Structures are given as structure tokens and as C-alpha cells.
Amino acid sequence: MNSMAEILERELENAFEVKNKESLHRYVVFLAENIVRKSTYDQNIAGFRNDMKVLAETMKLGFEAIEKRFGVVDRRFETMDKRFETMDKRFEFMDKRFEAMDKRFEAIDKRFEDMYRYMDKRFEDMNKRFTMMFTFMNVGFSILIIITILFKFLH
């Protein structure tokens, strides 16, 4: 690096009028220290490229492994889907059976309602008969009481 700094310093002195040699020297040293040699640059870039290739290959292998796992998971979900379809068919069958049972219960409910209507009608008829019987009995007793009172009053 020193030879490069000396060459740069000489070339700049020859090309330009230098007012302060120390300032020129500091500038050239700073510039020379911050310049990277082509061979070092090429080595670093080659190292980065190798690292990137290794990283890309590792990522590719990782993605392939993930794809395989997803394939296995997909197959598991497909089998679960088939199981759920079977369960859905069973539930549909059960729904049909419950619907048939509902229809039977509706028929039974209708029979009970008919029976209750019939019983209500019979009780209403019996109630009318008892009401008429009690009315006739009351009227009959009232007539007997009135006749008895009239006989006692007339005697």
C-alpha cells in the first residue's frame, strides 16, 4: 500500500499545483488505505458467491423437504376428507331416520288429539246430562216442597 500511496502522491504533485504537501500526503494515505486491491476484492466476491451457492442449495433442499411434508399432510387431509364424507352420509341417514320418527310422532300426536277431542265431547255430554238431571231434581224437589207447604197451609 505504501508504494501505491507514493505513486499517487507523486502523480498528483506533477499534475496539480500543491499548496500544502502535508495535506496532499494525508489525502493520499487516506485514499490508499480505503482502496481495496482487485485480488482481495475478487477473493471476497468469490467467497460470497460460494456462500450464496451453498445457501441457495440449502434453501432448495429445505424447500424440497417442506414440499414432501406438505404432500404427506395433503394425503392425510384427503383421507380425513373421505372419512368426513362417510360421516356426512351417516348423518344424512340418521337425519332421514329422525324425520321418519318425527312423522310417526306426528301421527301419534294426531291420534292423541283426536282421542282428547272425543273425551272432551263425552265429558261435555255427561256434564249436560248431570246438569239436566240436577235441574230436574231441583225442580222436582221444589214442586214437592211447594205441594207439601200447600197441603199444610190448606189443612
Q: Could you tell me what percent of the chain has a pLDDT over 90?
A: 54
Mean pLDDT (the chain) is 88
Give 52-81 pLDDT, tens digit per residue.
Answer: 999 999 999 999 999 999 999 999 989 998
The confidence band for 129, taking pLDDT boundaries of 50, 70 and 90, is very high
* Residue in this structure with the C-alpha cell 384427503, named with its chain if needed: 78
User: What is the C-alpha to C-alpha distance for residues 26 and 33, in angstroms, rounded to an integer?
Assistant: 10
pLDDT in tens, 23-53: 888 888 888 777 767 777 778 888 888 889 9
Cell of 80: 380425513
Stated pTM of the model: 0.36
pLDDT at 36: 66
Rounded CA gap, 54 and 47, in Å? 11
